[in-house]
Every structure is written in structure tokens, then in C-alpha cells.
Structure 1
Amino acid sequence: MSIPNEALQKILIEIEQKASFSQQQISIVKSQMAAKSRESRMLQLTAKEVESLPVETKVYEGVGKMFIETPAPAVKKRLQSETEGLKSDMTNLEKKLHYLETTYKNSIDNLEQLL
């Protein structure tokens, strides 16, 4: 039993669109992962610098256009919580990337089967 040309053409277009969309999303997710990685590295370097400071050193955080004196332990705690948040974001992005790569691979396989 053969599939009519119009239906076959429609299926091919759908699969091509799905593959194209997946490929676009993959590039977006990869760029988001790179940005999160840079942000994580900056947090690590900042935490390392704060750790190396003597206890009595005054620490200032930027808030808008001004700086506010903040206790060093509070800064350390904020940096740690931001790092944990970035780790969970990276985990979610990795899952999304895996899903998109699988979708893309399946679309390509389906195209090859049809052709």
C-alpha cells in the first residue's frame, strides 16, 4: 500500500520542520549553557576572593548605582545559594538538550526511512 504524494509531501515537510526547530533549540540551549557556565565560574572566583579576605575586611555589594556594606558571611551565603541555583539550572538545561538531541535524531531517522 503506497501513500499518496500529497500526504507523503505533508509528512516530509512536518518532519523537516520538526528537525529544523529542534536544531534551532539545540543551539539556543547550548548558548544558555555556556552563559550559565561563565556565570558559575565568576561566582567561584568571587567566592574564592571573599574567602581569602581577613574576617574584619569590609565587603560591599552593588545595588543599582550604589554600594552597600554587607557582612562577609552574608555574601558567602548568597554566593553559595546562587551557585546551587546555577547547578540546578545547568541540570535542567542538560535534560532539555538531551531531549532535543533525541528529537532531532529521531526526525532525521524518520526522514531517512521515508526516503
Structure 2
Amino acid sequence: MSISNEALQKLVREIEAQAIAAQQQISLVRTQLASKQREMRLAQLTRSEIASLPADTGVYEGVGKMFVQMPISDLSNKLATQMKEIETDVDGLTKRLHYLETTAKNSQEHIEKMLKGGQA
């Protein structure tokens, strides 16, 4: 059973649209992943810097347009929690990136198969 040229062209356009959407999503996820990794490095650097300070040192956290003094232990705990959340986000983004890359690859393979099948 042969597929008509019109149906084949329609199918190729649909798969191309999926591939293009996947490529756009890949770009977006890579940008988000880079942003999360920068946040992680900043939190790690901040945590290592405050760890080297004496326990009685006053540290401040920015809240809007003002700064609030807080104990080093509280800030360290807050940074640790933030780092765990970022790690979870990075894991999720990495899985999504893998899924999207697989989808784009499969779409490309399907297009190539259909074009080769159409030429035969």
C-alpha cells in the first residue's frame, strides 16, 4: 500500500514542525540550564566565603532595597536549601534536554526515512 504524495508531504511538514519546536525548546532549556548552573556557582561561592568568616561576624542579606542582618548559620542553611532546590531543577532540566534531543533526533530520522522511501 502506497501513501499519496500529498499525504506524504503533509506528514513531512508535521514532523518538520515537531523538529523545529523541539529545537526551539532545546535552546530554551540550555539557556535555563546555564542560568541555574550560574546560580549554583554563586551560592557555592557565597557559602564558602561565609564559612571562612568568624562566627560572630555580621552578615547581611538583601531584601528588596534594604539589607537585613542575620546570623551566619541561618544564611548558610538558607544557601544549602537553595543549592538543593537548584540541583533538583538542574536534574529536571537535564532530563528534559535529553528528551527533547531524542525527539529532535527521531524526527530527523523519520524525515530522512520518508524522503528516501519517496525516492525509491
Structure 1: runs of 5+ lacking an equivalent:
none
Q: Hey, what's the Cα distance between the residues in 1 that align with 2:60 and 2:34?
A: 28
Report the CA distance between 1:4 and its aligned residue: 1.1
TM-score in terms of structure 2 length: 0.94
Tell me the percent identity.
Answer: 51
Match of 1:69 in 2: 69
Structure 2: runs of 5+ lacking an equivalent:
116-120
Number of residues of Structure 1 aligned to a counterpart in Structure 2: 115
Q: Hey, what's the Cα distance between the residues in 1 that align with 2:80 and 2:48?
A: 11
Match of 2:78 in 1: 78
Look up the equivalent residue of 1:42 and give its one-letter code. L
TM-score in terms of structure 1 length: 0.98
Report the CA distance between 1:2 and its aligned residue: 1.4
Equivalence map 1:1-115=2 (5 Å): 1-115=1-115
Cα-to-partner distance string for 1:10-48 (whole Å, 9 max, x where unaligned): 101000000000011001101111111111000011001
CA RMSD of aligned residues (A): 0.6
Runs (4+) off by over 3 Å: none
Q: Hey, what's the Cα distance between the residues in 1 that align with 2:97 and 2:68?
A: 39
Cα-to-partner distance string for 1:60-81 (whole Å, 9 max, x where unaligned): 1111111111111000000000
Report the CA distance between 1:85 and its aligned residue: 0.3
